[in-house]
Structure formats: structure tokens, C-alpha cells
Structure 1
């Protein structure tokens, strides 16, 4: 092998074409390559500016390269990066204590991604049920159109067949019910159920908030059937709906909750939170992770958590959410043939396609990209808005103006 030739190749500029050349094709990224970001501003390799209202899919809650988070990362990087789980470290202990103090939880498990956090949650639920009620209590009930991760276990719990087709056989004893359907929940949740899993606000499923009565009913049913209620707050947590975690706004307390995405503002970290009694079903060696809770990630998450978990910050999220919703409702009203309305909570909102334009949301997000506005999808019919929680009134106004330009140009072509 000519090693010098390989080294020379690595010095060549990379472009969007490089992705097609060398990456496994599980993503279809945009035609441009971002290289620099600040707040909600993003620039590509050619220097073109974009207003980023995607938040890295609800990850960059504090925007791109927030100075206080950069400082926390750099400071920790000079001290300690990794020591393995044969040891603990100060940042992870501080983060665990902060999460426990602020939530229902007493125990925390850290890992690297939302899928891993949910994997841990589902394993713990089955182990807890086995310990207390025997091996036959192992069925998990989840909702159609939910999303809980990409491992074989978590993608099966998520009720979207498009993510499981071709990967069979799937893990058994996992059933799905319609979201927000109390009667379907009553029919499905029996004594053999170990856990009921739900997103307080469905993300991938179309930005659908749970009805408060629905979550209260799930809580009662779980209590009656000795099942654990698991809230997946990977996307809707960490201030996204205007409370620190969405369950707080509903007044319904889960037995297990998962968090990721905005917890690290882009640095990979996730957490599973639960009570001491439930956590006892895990013992040394029964579950684990190599990188989970490493000092770098924990130090970043500590600063993120400290920044978001302030009344004035969360109040601003509520206000910004109301302003953004009003802006989107104004657009929907002015284009009634294109949009049927707006739904969601806080800064997790969906602009819903209407009539003959159903299934064509992707065309509008593509038109918006040409105007320098970055938006997301939630299925085929919903344009998803999950901007950084620090979005300003000016950003919202700018986003509306760019969206209108995109819609007008798209309608001219259609």
C-alpha cells in the first residue's frame, strides 16, 4: 500500500460530494456544508449565511458556539478528558446532583445519546418488573408514530414501521396504541405490562402535544397495573416547552425519564433519570457504557443545565414560543390553501400542510433553504420549528419574512 498517496489524498479539500464518496448512505444531507456558526447564524463553505431555526434538531438550545459553554469545555479539556467507569469524576457528580435536585429523580445514569438513554430505560423497566412480579410481566406499550432511538430495541418501541422494515426479527412483546387515545390505552395496558412509554410532545410524529387527561390516565393505569410510566423527553425536555422538563408543565410525574439532545448543546451526552427504588434493579455490571458521563461531556452539560434552569430563561422561552406561534399562525392565515394551522408547545412548533399540498412540506423547506432559512420536517405534512431557545424577536421576524419569500417562490413554480 502506498501510504504517502493516502496521506496526500487526505489533504484534498472536502465537499458535499465527499459525503457521497466515503460515507455510509444513511443520511441525505443538504447540498451545502456548514463550517461556522454563532447563535442562530450559520455560514457554509462559500460564505453564504443562513438563519438556522432547526436548533440541530432541538439540540443546540443555546445556539451555535455559545461563549460560556465554549469556556466550560476548554477549561475542562485542560484538566481531564476520560478516566473510564472504573473511576468517577467531579463534573459528572455535580451534573447528577443538579438533575436530581431539580427533578423527581433520585438516581441518574449517563450515556451518549437519546437512543442509549431509552435503551437503558427499557432494560431497567423489564428488569424491575422481573424482580418484583416475575418473568411474565415484560410487555412494553408505546404509541404509534413515536420515536425513541435507532437501536433495534428502541426503534421497535417507536411505532414507525418505516424504521423497522427489513430488520426483522424484532424484539418481541412490544405493542403500540394511538397517541392521545385513552380508551386504546385502557384496552392495551394489562397486568403483563412492565412499562408504558410516551413522549409528552411527539416530535417525529408531527409535533403533537399530549392531552393532559391522556397523561393523567396513563399515570393512573400504570399505578393500577403495577407498570412503570416512562417519559421520553429527549426532544421536548431541557426547557423546550417552557418548563425545565415537559412533565412539569403537565403535572404528571413519570417513574423513568430520559433526556439528551439539548442537555449537551451538541456535545454528546444523555441521561436516564429514575427513583432510588427502581434503580435498585440495576446492579454493578448489569448495564454500562464506555464514554457515558465522561468529564468533558459532563462539564459542558453542567454549564448548559445551569444556564437553562433559571426562571427568567424559561419565562423567555414561553414568551418566544408565543411570538413564534403567532408569527406562524399569521403565515397560515395568509396562505390558507397551503397550511391548516399550527400546533405544539413552547419552542417546539409545527406548521401543518393542508389540502392538496399535504405530503409536500419538504418542498417548502427546500425553497426556504434557497432563501437562507433552515427548517425541519416532522413527517411529510409538518414543517418543524425547534430553534435555539435563545431565539430573539428579530430572528422570528426575519424567519417569517424569509418563509414568505420561500412560499411565494414555491407557489409560482407550482
Structure 2
């Protein structure tokens, strides 16, 4: 269901009762085709079974676990650029942490993003201030190159969605994204792929043969449950490890939750319907 259908129907939005597969039913028993269908289908038996089993074994143990390690291994297998993985409560939080990580690593303040990207927060909270944002035109390589070179001394990161899910599902030209990878590496700018909505599609970075410095993932890697994460270069992400001098802080109120990774660890064969 699109945002307009969910939230903007006068005089009140549709209220749903339940879903199964690609169908949802409202409180008046009307059925609708849901093209989003909760990532892998509503009430997917394999997902529901995995989550219920894990909840009975403990839903939030507050410590590292074998399940989380296995889930991170799945992410690294699908996107080898995610050498080290850290988890968050949502994709918005993961994006925020990735940007903070880039700023801390580079010592720079500005963030570049592309037109049409959402990155889950539409206001300045995620960037610190809108004055800290450089907006790049989508798939205009010449203008993008000029802007990145102009602001390079102050640019910490360029964060892009390789496919724009809320702008008609437009895909960036692979050659343009590869050139963006080359250019950001030359200028010392961290390239962040926001794959919170696209990781389940391949992910695109693997399909295009591009290794960003950091990658953001979201609920598509948790069977549709609320979860986020970011990962990337070892030298960047391991700044948080406690055995390092002056480790960076990354505290979570829901650290060690296991129900989300239990769903996300299922392989394609488990989810085939």
C-alpha cells in the first residue's frame, strides 16, 4: 500500500485488519492487492515460524549471539564491501550512524546527496543542518563531478540510493555510479550506498560491481521487521571497537534483539512461495 493510500484518504485513512501473502483486508472485510506486501509477503510461514521460535528462546538477550553473527555473514556474502557490520534499531538510525561515522573518520562536515533520495528523514536532523548538505543532480555526471570537486575539502561523504524507490524506482546508470566511486576515492570522500530499500534486489552494488565505503540496510534484511544496520571498510567501522584507542560510542536501547535477525537470516529457498 502506498503512503497516499495509507495516510491521505479523506475523511480518514483505510484501517487494515490482517494480511496474507500479497493481499490485505480492511476492517470492513474489503480485500486489496498490496504491491509492497511486507517485503516477503504478509504472514509468511517461514518468517513467522523463525520469529516465534526465537522469541520463545529469548527475544532480546542484550549481548552478541551466534544468530547475529550468522546474519552478518549473510550480509557480507551478498555485499562483500560490508567487511564489518553494526546494527541499529531502524534504517533511519543506521543512516544517521553512517553519516556520523563518515564525519568522524574524515574530519569533514558536509554531506552530498542526490535529488530524489529520501534516506528516511526529510528534515535536517539526519544531516545536522541543511547548510551542511550538497545536493547532486541525479545521473548528471558532469555537474556532479564539478560539485564534488568544488566542495571536496569539506565533504565527508556522498550518500546515494543506487535505485530511487520513491522517485519512480529510477536506477542510476551503472557507469555513472562507477565513476562516482572512482571520483570519491580520488577526493577522499566516503561513498555511502543507502540500500535500505534496495538490498533485497541483488543488491545493486553487487550487480553493478561497485564497492562503496559504507552501506546502509533496513527492514528488508529482517523479513520486514523493524531493523537497520550499516557496514563497510574495516578501517572505518572498527573505530567503534572497544579494544581500540579512544573507541567511538554506539549505544542502543534495544541492543541484542534477536527476532529481527531470525527472519533476516532465512535464505531465498526459505522464502520461495
- Tell me if 1:214 matches 2:182: no
* TM-score between the two structures when normalised by the length of structure 1: 0.58
Partner Cα distance (1:192, 1:216) in 2: 22
Per-residue CA deviation, residues 241-275 of structure 1 (Å, 9 max, x unaligned), is xx2x1111211111111111322232111111212
- Tell me if 1:177 matches 2:139: no
Larger radius of gyration: 1
37, 57, 63: which is aligned to 2:19? 37
Partner Cα distance (1:67, 1:260) in 2: 21
40, 44, 55: which is aligned to 1:62? 40
Partner Cα distance (1:83, 1:233) in 2: 27
Aligned 8 A contact 2:222 2:262 in 1: no
Structure 1 consecutive aligned stretches of length 4 or more whose deviation exceeds 4 Å: 151-156
- Cα drift, residue 151 of structure 1: 7.5
- Tell me if 1:140 matches 2:117: no
- Cα drift, residue 216 of structure 1: 1.2
Partner Cα distance (1:293, 1:268) in 2: 14
Partner Cα distance (1:52, 1:151) in 2: 25
Structure 1: any 5+ residue segments left out of the alignment? Answer: 1-25, 131-136, 157-168, 314-389, 391-414
Aligned 8 A contact 2:114 2:160 in 1: yes
Moved more, 201-210 or 279-288: 279-288
Partner Cα distance (1:197, 1:308) in 2: 32
- Cα drift, residue 282 of structure 1: 2.8
Partner Cα distance (1:293, 1:171) in 2: 33
- Cα drift, residue 276 of structure 1: 1.0
- Tell me if 1:107 matches 2:84: yes
Aligned 8 A contact 1:110 1:293 in 2: no
Partner Cα distance (2:269, 2:189) in 1: 32
- Cα drift, residue 283 of structure 1: 4.2
Residue in 1 aligned with 2:231?
Answer: 273
Helix, strand or coil at the partner of 2:265 = helix
Map 1:310-349 → 2, pairs under 5 A: none
Partner Cα distance (2:87, 2:260) in 1: 10
Residue in 1 aligned with 2:64?
Answer: 88
Helix, strand or coil at the partner of 1:238 = helix
- Of the two structures, which has the highest relative contact order with CA contacts closer than 8 Å and spacing of 6 or more? 2
Residue in 1 aligned with 2:3?
Answer: none
- Cα drift, residue 152 of structure 1: 4.8
Aligned 8 A contact 1:115 1:151 in 2: no
Helix, strand or coil at the partner of 2:17 = strand
Aligned 8 A contact 2:192 2:213 in 1: yes
* TM-score between the two structures when normalised by the length of structure 2: 0.85
- Tell me if 1:253 matches 2:211: yes
Aligned 8 A contact 1:139 1:192 in 2: yes
Residue in 1 aligned with 2:245?
Answer: none
Q: Specify whether residues 54 and 97 from structure 1 end up closer, same or farther in structure 2 by C-alpha distance, changes over 3 A only.
A: closer
258, 268, 273: which is aligned to 1:307? 268
Per-residue CA deviation, residues 143-197 of structure 1 (Å, 9 max, x unaligned), is 12210022755655xxxxxxxxxxxx83542211111111111111123322111
- Cα drift, residue 53 of structure 1: 1.3
What's the C-alpha RMSD, in Å, of the aligned pairs? 2.4
121, 129, 146: which is aligned to 2:106? 129
Q: Specify whether residues 182 and 116 from structure 1 end up closer, same or farther in structure 2 by C-alpha distance, changes over 3 A only.
A: same
Q: Specify whether residues 68 and 146 from structure 1 end up closer, same or farther in structure 2 by C-alpha distance, changes over 3 A only.
A: same
Aligned 8 A contact 2:86 2:229 in 1: yes
Per-residue CA deviation, residues 82-112 of structure 1 (Å, 9 max, x unaligned), is 133xx22232122112212332211111112
Aligned 8 A contact 2:46 2:270 in 1: no
Q: How many residues align?
A: 257
- Cα drift, residue 211 of structure 1: 0.9
Structure 2: any 5+ residue segments left out of the alignment? Answer: 1-5, 243-247
